Structure 1
């Protein structure tokens, strides 16, 4: 694999899977312990996010020579899936932070970007603020980033502000002068920032994906960037991070479904065996769920490898972006189907006892269905088919993707 052109911060991966697992899996296991209770009572996982900051998850992609762990994107998304298996809410909270780290790693070295790398190394955390509130769109931004002397001021309203209540910084998209679009990094604790945990969805309820209002919030000169300079594979990164969470949910459904079947003490008269754990039809259900989990994991790694190639082979970036678009779309179709099937059919192995509120197995379907609805899959198969049959560009808006837009 070739290295990228200097002077970007990115380097080929140097971490091993074993090293990353040894560092982070014990933390993930601790996080898993209270998952059901937090989910049931909508307890925000501030403490758990703090554990991950201390462990250094926020710097996992930063090269070792700059103080990070040197993970590839494939390894990063695999870790995120492992975290999602422990707690899907906590994993989703990290999506915006990891994306902004990736953006800064793609930027040219400068005093400003060196400062951001130091912030990441110090554990400072970034939340999101891109989606306009009140049905606004990227084409009709009502959030403004305007210059005020030697600083900038940010005003507007956002929704889906995932991770913001856990953050030190908020990454806010807004309209600058004329037709320019800017992203501004503002302090989460500034008096002009109001965050409300009013996410009404039936899933992903502890991600703090609610409302954010900005009233003349200052941003320093070095913390405002043209949106057109965001990293080329940004849309693919955001989408694959979400697919990582769905993959983890699928594995969690397999884990919890298996445990519930083992604990089941009686069976129906029509069963093949009096003991549920020896009933061939119930074992078949668990076997199919395991295949769903396998398919999701394989698709996730394939998509992540395609994005790794975009990051590290800029000379062929347009072709690599196209390949990543296809891989991520195929992974989206595969992983969403696997997650929704697994989180639904696992109950066929459990009977009425499987719906006990104490088990909380409904959380897997609710969380999977919620994530799958963020970026509907209904369009993806058609776009893929048109590309395969007719050669239609699956990235017709490539220039927007290159500007860092969320093309997925």
Structure 2
């Protein structure tokens, strides 16, 4: 029986429900592969529309990036809206902005509607790691205002230090409609809602073969599913099951440590308003406080495919660079996992063969975008694909290099790491 990776999230999960392994042959309307945010969201929305849905998870619900990430709910995309306008036009960019706004509203609505206990908090600081990065802060602030997002503010260094007890930053962009949550508890809560809506969830049911056609057929170790439609929602863990998709995303390792509980006074002194924080470097540090007053600090993105032998030692220096006052704080947890990036750092959403739908490659913005992309997939299957088609309009190129793409990307990111260091 599979277990969640040992992490702070797994240790504080508020639901340990086990779903059965698939041991029969089933015929359904839709088969969803992947028990993370995208898969569960797709399944939930489809079930609410009356579809008969089976969800297959190779490990446990929330086992992958959905249950291991930093919990940051981010605004917009991993590219500027100006860049997106050049790809899809002004109307398309406005549609993608509307999708992004809906993505965060959906989190708020789901938590309230399904009574999901996941420590949801709002407030986000984008901290400028270099003086030159204040240009990005100001440009992004102006860009978001053009799209009607005005619940934001630019902080200079002095104002930022009243909110964040670190001396290394030069200012920040603050926003109110982004934030953080406990991602595993959110995933488990969504799965509970999906099950209540009629979705049949099977864990320890890794898909071994996929046969395309008017009816899609997948086989697991002990069962099979035949479906009119298939949703591929494995993201960084989908593997080479669908080569066209595999070539267009790259798994990237990211690692997090959690300190001991710091006490309410010390914790609130570090981040006064309990905002989520990330920096503006190419190799991003991201961090926040947990509900029990721990510092959860993530970073040290790994593009080589290898996990550091000592995660505590790998991440701790980055945390102390930001918060040297935590030198005496013990680290209780360290864990890692893969997220998926695309070559252009925008989500890869689309369909193939008329009955296979997918969304992946969120490039660090998955907590927000996975949910709305699941909804868009459900709408597309039901025949309403206006917003889905806007996302699918972006043409994603495969990563170059074929079998050596991982070392090539690692070399490329070493260049950006050196740029962070030298600038």
TM-score, normalised via structure 1 length: 0.31
In terms of Rg, which structure is larger? 1
TM-score, normalised via structure 2 length: 0.30
The one of the two structures with greater contact order (alpha-carbon pairs below 8 A, sep at least 6) is 2
Q: Which has the higher strand share?
A: 2
